[in-house]
Chains A and B, each alone.
Chain A
Amino acid sequence: MTETRRYTRTHEWVAPADVPGEWNVGITDFAQKEVTDVVFVELPKVGRTLPRGGEAAIIESVKAAFSIYAPASGTIVAVNPDLESDPGLLNRDPYGKGWIFRFKAGHPEEINDLMDEGAYAKFLKDGGGHPEHG
C-alpha cells in the first residue's frame, strides 16, 4: 500500500485505514532509526480533536523525547494499545504493527498536500532534516 502512503516533513507517515475517511499514522523508518530504541510512547486520548501539525503523541527513546504531530486536522478514533507494553514495535515494524494512532480527517484534502513516496525519498536525500525539525 506504499502508493497510498503520504509523508510529513516531520517524518510521520499517514495511510488510509480500513474504514473510509479514517487514517493510520506512524513514524517513518528513517525516523525510527534516528530516534533509536523507543522506550515509551505517550498516546493521545481517543476523541481528541487536533489541528494540523498539533502535537498528537510523544515518543521517548534513550536519546530524547520527540513529538509526533498530526499530519492533518481531525479527531483521534483509535490508538495502538500494543505500544504501551511493547514500544519496540515502533522500531521493528514502523509501517505495520508500530502504527501509533488512527484519526478521522477533518479536511481530507490536507493529506493530498503531503509528500508521496518519491517526494519523501528526495526530501531525505536532500538533507531531510531531523525528526523534530523537518
Chain B
Amino acid sequence: MNPTTGDGKKSGRPGMEPSLWEISRSGARGVRPVSQPVETTDLPPFLCRKIPPGLPELSELETVRHFTRLSQLSRGVDTHFYPLGSCTMKYNPKVMDRVPALSGFQDLHPLTDEEGMQGYLEALWTFSELLKEVLGMDAVTLAPAAGAHGELTGILLARKFFRKRGEFARTEILVPDSAHGTNPASASMGGFTVRTIASKPSGHIDLDALTGALSERTALVMVTAPSTLGLFEEELPEVVRRVKAAGALLYMDGANMNAFLGVLRPGDLGFDIVHINTHKTLATPHGGGGPGSGPVGVRAHLAPFLPNPRIVRSGKTFSLSDLPDSIGRIRSFHGSSGVLLRALAYIRMLGQDGLRRVSLYALLNANYLRKKLEGLLPGTGEGLCTHEFVLSARSLEKTGVRAVDLAKGLLDAGYYAPTIYFPLIVPEALMIEPTECESRAMLDGFADDLTRLVRLAGTDPGKLLGAPERTPVSRPDEVRAARDPVLVDPRSSGESPS
C-alpha cells in the first residue's frame, strides 16, 4: 500500500486520499499504554461490548499524514476565495484564537464557583454590554448555541411575553418567503402556526399580503434583514408600523448583520428581538470548527424573560442570578464560551469605526462584483444590493448548463463555489457573497472567470457539464448518496453500540 500524496500528477486531478480503512495495517499501533490495563468496570454488562470495536489500525505518523493530506485537499477561506452566499465565509483573523487560549480561560473548570471565575464572567458581561450597543437593544443573552437556537430562544421569549399578558390567542408567526428557512422551522418548534407571506416580484415584502395576514392571532413577524436576496426592505418603517399596530412583536433574523454593523441598529429600526450569528458577523469559526453561537438581543419589555442564568454586575463583582419570569435554561453553562471570547476580541480589536468599516466594505465588495457581472446573468432587485446578491442561470437553459454546472466550473477555476439553488424563490439561483475580506484584484479575477464560464456555456457546454476536472473527486453521486447512503464502513466488523 502506497497512498498517494494528493499532489497533482498526470491529469491535473489530485489523487484522492484513501480512507483510513484502506491504509489500515493489521497490528499497527499508535501509542502503547505502559500502565496497567484497566480490568474492572462498573458499567452494567448489557452496555459492555462483547467483541472489540472494529477500528482501523495505523501508526501515529500514518494517522497524522492521512489527516494532513486530507486538510490539503480541502478548500476553505484560508486557501480559496469562498463566495458562499448567505453563509458569510469571512476570514477569521488568527490573533482571535489567542484569547480563548489564555490559560485563565482555557484551564477554567466549567464548575468553578463564581468567585473563581470573575475574569471570565467579566469578559462575557462586557461582551453583552458591547452587543447591546451594536444592536441598539436593552438586554442580551449569550446562551444560544447557534443562530437557529437564537431564533427558538426569541420565539420562546415572545410566547412567554404574550402568556404573561394573558394574550393566549396569539398563536401565529408570519414569515416572508425571503426569510431564512430556519425561521418557519423555529416558529413551528416553538409551538406556533407558521404563515408564509409571498414576496413581491421585486423580492421585497408585499405590504398588502402582510396586512392581510396580520390579525389578533399574530404573535410575531420574523423579518430577515437584509433579506436572503441581498435586499434591504425599502418599506421597513411601514412594516414595523403595521406589525406594531396589530399588537404583534417584530423579530429580526440578524444572520445577515454583517451588512449593518455600525450602520443600522435593529433596536433603532423598531425590532423587539434580534439574533446574530457570531460566526457570520464577528469572525468566529464556522461549521466543524465551531461550535456556533447565536446571541439574542431584546428591548426592555422582553428582558425579564431572558434565559437563566444572567450575569449580573455589582460594583466590581460579577455573579450569576436567575430571573423569576425567565423562559429557563436553554443551554448548559454560559453558551459557547470559546466562541464568545473570540467575538469579544474581534469587537474590541476593531472598535466602533472598524466594525462600521467591516460592513461598508462588505457592501462595497458585493456591489462592485455585482456591477462587474452586470448583463451576464439576470439578477434580483434593482439598484444597490446589500452584502450579497443573487443571479439566475435560468437563461442558459437551452445550452443544457445549469447553476450547478457553473458552480462546478468555478471549482476548476480555483474558487469555492457560490451557494446554488437558494433562495428557493429564484430559479437556478447563484448566490454570491464576497465578504469584506477580499481585494479588488480577487473580485476582478472572479468576475473574469465567471464571465468566461457563462460564455463557455454557449460555445462548449460539454466542458462545463464535465467539470470539475481538477478536484480529487469530480461529481459525487449525490442522488445515490441520499437514496442509498452507506453510513458504516463494511470493514468495521465490531458491533455497533445499541
Using CB atoms and an 8 Å cutoff, list the residues of chain A in contact with chain B.
34, 37, 39-40, 60, 62-64, 87-88, 130, 132-133
User: Does A62 contact B424, Cβ atoms closer than 8 Å?
Assistant: no
Q: CA separation between A62 and B421, bound complex, in Å?
A: 10
Query: Chain A residues near B426 (CB, 8 Å)?
Result: 130
Please report the total number of B residues contacting A with Cβ < 8 Å.
Answer: 12
Supposing A64-B422, A133-B198 touch, asked if A34 and B482 sit within 8 A by C-beta, the answer is no
B483 at the interface (CB under 8 A from A): yes
User: Does A133 contact B478, Cβ atoms closer than 8 Å?
Assistant: no
User: Does B198 contact A40, Cβ atoms closer than 8 Å?
Assistant: no
User: Does B424 contact A132, Cβ atoms closer than 8 Å?
Assistant: yes
Supposing A133-B177, A133-B198 touch, asked if A40 and B425 sit within 8 A by C-beta, the answer is no
User: Does A62 contact B478, Cβ atoms closer than 8 Å?
Assistant: yes
Of B425, B479, B482, B483, which contacts A133 at CB under 8 A? B425
Known: A62-B479, A133-B198. 16 other contacts (CB 8 A): A37-B478, A37-B479, A39-B482, A40-B482, A60-B482, A62-B478, A62-B482, A63-B421, A64-B421, A88-B479, A88-B483, A130-B424, A130-B426, A130-B427, A133-B177, A133-B425
Q: CA separation between A40 and B479, bound complex, in Å?
A: 10
Using CB atoms and an 8 Å cutoff, list the residues of chain B in contact with chain A.
177, 198, 421-422, 424-427, 478-479, 482-483
Supposing A133-B177, A133-B198 touch, asked if A64 and B424 sit within 8 A by C-beta, the answer is yes
Best-buried of B198, B422, B425, B479 by chain A (most CB within 10 Å): B479
Closest approach, in angstroms, between the C-beta of A39 and any C-beta of chain B?
4
Query: Chain A residues near B177 (CB, 8 Å)?
Result: 132-133
User: Does B483 contact A87, Cβ atoms closer than 8 Å?
Assistant: yes
Query: Chain B residues near A130 (CB, 8 Å)?
Result: 424-427
Q: CA separation between A26 and B478, bound complex, in Å?
A: 24
Query: Chain A residues near B198 (CB, 8 Å)?
Result: 133
17 residue pairs of the A-B complex, CB under 8 angstroms, read: A34-B427, A37-B478, A37-B479, A39-B479, A60-B482, A62-B479, A62-B482, A64-B422, A64-B424, A88-B479, A88-B483, A130-B424, A130-B427, A132-B177, A132-B425, A133-B177, A133-B424
Closest approach, in angstroms, between the C-beta of B399 and any C-beta of chain A?
15
Closest approach, in angstroms, between the C-beta of B306 and any C-beta of chain A?
33
Query: Chain A residues near B421 (CB, 8 Å)?
Result: 63-64
